[in-house]
Amino acid sequence: MKHERSRCMLCGACENVCPYDIIEAGAKPKDECRGCGRCAAVCPVDAIGC
């Protein structure tokens, strides 16, 4: 999982769809990330990649 913090607009979309509740908007996903890709799919500015 990669996260481009400079692109993030803190919308919270990724945080809302994470089934593991490990993302805080604007922050890199925690080590518990399982790579499901839901956060990357909803990011409107492509700040998250799998």
**Separation of alpha carbons 17 and 25, rounded Å:** 11
CATH class for domain 1-50? alpha beta
Q: pLDDT tens digits, the chain, 50 residues: what are they?
A: 788 889 999 999 999 999 988 887 666 666 788 889 999 999 999 998 86
Residue 6 has, within 13 A of its CA and on its CB side, a CA count of 0
45's CB contacts (< 8 A; 6+ apart) are: 7, 8, 9
Residue 25 confidence (pLDDT): 66
Break the chain into its structural domains and give their ranges.
Answer: 1-50
User: Which of 36, 39, 31 lies closest to 11 in space, CA to CA?
Assistant: 39
Query: How would you classify the pairing of strands 2-3 and 48-49?
Result: antiparallel
